Amino acid sequence: MRYMIVHNTEVYYDRATPPPAELMTGMDALLGDMNKAGVLLAAEGLRHPDHGVKITYSKGNRTVTDGPYAEAKEVVAGFMIVDVRSRDEAIEWANRFGAIFDNIFDEIVVEVRPVGERSDFE
C-alpha cells in the first residue's frame, strides 16, 4: 500500500537561511533507514510558495496567481511516498518523521494519506 506523508510549515529554508544541522542529520538518518527497509519511493522538500503558481479553474475560466497565496493557511512544505504493508506502518514512519521536526519547531503537522489507485474506482 502506498501512502503519502506530508508536512505543513510556515518556515522555509534557502541558501541564505539553511536548515539547522540537526534537521538535516535527522532527515539523512530517517531516509537511510527507509531506504534500508525498502519502503521509500520518493521524498522531496518544496520551495517557498513565493516560487510557485496556483492555477484556479472556474466555469471554463482559468486564473494563474503567482505565489505567495494570501489565502493559504497551511502550505505543504515537503512529502514522502512510502510503500508499506499497512496504515499502521505508514504511521510509524510518519511518527519518526515528525519527531525530527518536533525537536526544532514548536508545532509540526504531519498528514498520512493513502495514494489513490485506479482500482479504487473500478
Q: Which residue has the cell 502506498?
A: 2
Q: DSSP 3-state assignment of 107?
A: coil
What local confidence, expressed as pLDDT, does residue 81 receive?
Answer: 97
Q: What pTM was estimated for this model as a whole? A: 0.85
Is the CB of residue 19 less than 8 Å from the CB of residue 26?
A: no
Task: Read off the pLDDT of residues 69-107 as tens digits, 9 standing for 90 and up.
Answer: 766 667 788 999 999 999 999 999 999 999 998 878 888
| Domain boundaries along the sequence of the chain | 2-116
Read off the pLDDT of residues 33-78 as tens digits, 9 standing for 90 and up. Answer: 999 999 999 999 888 888 889 899 999 999 998 877 766 667 788 9
Architecture of 2-116 per CATH? Answer: 2-Layer Sandwich (3.30)
